[in-house]
Structure 1
Amino acid sequence: MELCDLRYFALVAEDLHYGRAAARLHVAPAAVRRRIRDLERELGLVLFDRTSGRVTLAAAGAELLPAARRALAAAADVTDTARDLRAARLGELRVGCAPGAARLVDALIGKVARERADVAVVAVPMWSLQALDAVVRGDLGLALVRDPLPPQGTSSLIVGRYRDDHVAVPAPGPLTKQVPVPLGAFEGMPFLINERDTAPGVHDATVRFFADHGVAPVWQHHRLREQEQLLSLVAAGTASGLVHAHPADVSDPANVACPGVAVLPLAEPGPEHRFHLVWRSDNTSELLSSVVDLICDHGCDLDEPEEDGAAKEGVTTSDGH
């Protein structure tokens, strides 16, 4: 008997329906029926009564169900205990990661893995403001955020920079014939921008960029986290939107585009954004200090190639020292 057999049994007993149990297990109903039949054959018991297309617990199934649930709970306890032991052995550092930070998160995890095999970095996706609040509360050790207004009592360092120097437009379309695309082409046109309460720094920089160039689009507000989601809106013909393209992505447009979208360079330099690594100034955790020191020692810019390094930037506290 396998735990998987007991899990199938318990779910069918809860739903009294093979199809619904199969949907929860992400398998075909026939597979559930087959596992239940095999379990009944192995136990020598009838667990379910099947009459007129209905499934009900047989007497033996009703008596066996509490024991099956205890076994599943015990297995879950083993998994939870193993996870806790692993975290205690390795030292787990949770990092709140803002939208667009995936490349920097990968670089951070890679640096720590190479230099500190006893440390496990766990990335937690969330908005920048949520990540900063979690750091201040002590729920997270670090936050990797875009252009924050650092809360009182925090320290930070800049670990990456990028420009929204490309624009995603519906394709095919007239804008795909203008390369690079002048910002003036979007005068009076629908243009995607995040709601200000989700990412005020990015929102304000985008509005300021258009205003500085005397261009007034028709803003289409959204609450999407990732650039890939924004591209889906562009593909649907909703509007155009600013995007950033890492040099590796620009060399292969398939990395930044999707069907129905053209990602083209802007004629004007787009707004610059910075990624900051933020932590509580009064956090005396040796684990946290070792990770911050590791980033500083190897060059603060996580987006730089490992062999090149980067100019070190001083750690900044929220009061500017």
Structure 2
Amino acid sequence: MLIWYRLNGLTIKWATLYKEIFKILLAIFLISSFSIWLFYYIYVPDGSIIVEICFLCFAIFMHLAIFLVLTTIVEKIIDFLLPNVDIYLLKSKKLHTIFCILAAFLFTTVGFLAVASPPTVKSIDLKIKNLPPSFEKFSISLITDIHIGPSVGQKRVKQIVDISNSLQPDVVTVVGDTVDGFLPYLSERALPLANLKSKYGTFAVTGNHEYYHSDIDKWIEFFQNQLNLTVLLNDHKIISKYQKSNETICIAGVDDYFTKRLFIDGHKMDPDKALSACPQNGTTILLVHQPHAAAKILDETKQKVDLVLSGHHHGGGLYITYPFAYFFQGSIIGVLL
């Protein structure tokens, strides 16, 4: 309603015909923005232009909504503090609305260029206390929040796989929100993940989006049988470079924090179960999708954890949500020591 009201306010001095045309275009924009939810429940071809346009409209809508809400709040404050001041820059709602529109298009364009570009690699060197000597220079490829779905197809997934393989990691970790939709519609798009290569295996945990659509157990079966992912459901795997060696890395993974509010048999975040069998004299790496869940686990568990790998907030996601991501998640990057 706020967007409709503010944008229609721009047409006060327009001729009636132009006003009606503008209203029609605005209605098409709003319908396109919210039609993205339909694409999760019907099959759409991989790489559909219509889907891309609708998701772009939604991105513009989200930015515009946030900017207009913030602008309206600022306007109310200015009116309260400076009721008798008539400064065009401070009091013109039309000017403020135009600025919000331009800012929404700018931020959306920057975001679109970012997702249209090949995935980038961020290399981080970590020093872990008491890391077994045989694991010096041990490398992990961290992949998160692919969101295979209406707007993320097989081409993007293959790009991610090719880049990860080029790094020749010792281990690949996939920390949730891998898929975003129904198994029959998305299985083919996810197949390139079966080609992920590493020395010691590919380990995955669930994110909140895995629980939104298809039966989670069917997705997990598909991950394990078709994509060769070792899904850690409150479980762990011990890696040793040499047989009968006491030098180990324990990779533990938990169900997503979202399961705390669900009642799905066999799915509830249980870090103690995941960590209990990890050797205390080795190095323990915990995979947990949401950073604030990771922080909660570290505060409450008595088990030893040396490194946590998380995802969930897409590095802040929308640029203007950085403060919210940090406030609610406690981190912008997905690595906790």
Structure with bigger strand share is 1
Which has the bigger relative contact order, CA under 8 A and spacing at least 6?
A: 1
TM-score (norm 2): 0.28
Structure with bigger helix share is 2
TM-score (norm 1): 0.29
